[in-house]
Amino acid sequence: MLPETKALDALGELKRDYQDFIKINYEHRAQNCETCPVQGACCLDAHFVNVHITRLEAAAIRKTLGKLSAEKQKAIYGRAEEAVEKYDLKTTGDTFAQTYACPLFETGIGCLVHSESKPAACISHACYENESDLPPDFFQKEVENRIERLNERVYRNALTWLPLPVWLNLINSTAKEI
């Protein structure tokens, strides 16, 4: 067993290392999000986004969001609830076929968890003009396997990877109960 706080530290280090690796080796081939003429289009494309995270990643996101004002947190968790309802996101079935607009993107700001708890899939994917410029999938799979092992050490059972808005709803419900 691993305490959640230690696992969050390990997860943060893993994600920082992965972000650095992608930034150094691949991101220079991608369009800069800050200068993109359609900023956020990729994150808000409800026909494209299907990022899945673990419970541990959800806890990291909750920790990051916890630094924001209560009003801002309420708005973000509200967007997550709306996404689950609007896109009929489930915890069962082929959840990887489910798509949605990301509730963590805010126009004029960008990804609200970019520097602290951005999901591995989001780190891997940017606006690359050529598919050949994308990082190979096995890098993301390797990082996600390590995330899953951390998740299992904290919560024992291998919890499923779920769409990000679903996990945000689950952790928000947990936060309300505490």
Q: What is the pLDDT of residues 64-113, one digit of tens each?
A: 999 999 999 999 999 999 999 999 999 998 998 899 999 999 988 888 99
For residue 73, what are the domain limits?
A: 4-177
Rounded CA gap, 57 and 61, in Å? 6
Query: What pLDDT was estimated at residue 33?
Result: 77
CA torsion angle for 15, 18, 24, 25 (degrees, to 10)?
-150
- Residue-averaged pLDDT of the chain: 90
- Cα angle, residue 158 at apex, residues 112 and 118 outer, rounded to 5°: 15
The domain total for the chain is 1
Residue 102 Cα distances to 34, 52, 77, angstroms? 17, 11, 11
How far apart, in whole angstroms, are the C-alpha atoms of residue 101 and residue 89?
11
Spatial contact of 53 and 164, defined as CB atoms under 8 Å apart = yes
The amino acid that residue 56 corresponds to is L
Output the pTM of the full model: 0.91
Tell me, what's the pLDDT at 110? 87
At what angle are helices 137-155 and 55-65 packed, to 10 degrees?
90
pLDDT of residue 163: 96
pLDDT in tens, 113-154: 988 999 999 999 888 888 899 999 999 999 999 999 999 999
Query: pLDDT tens across 6-35, in order?
Result: 999 999 999 999 999 999 999 988 888 777
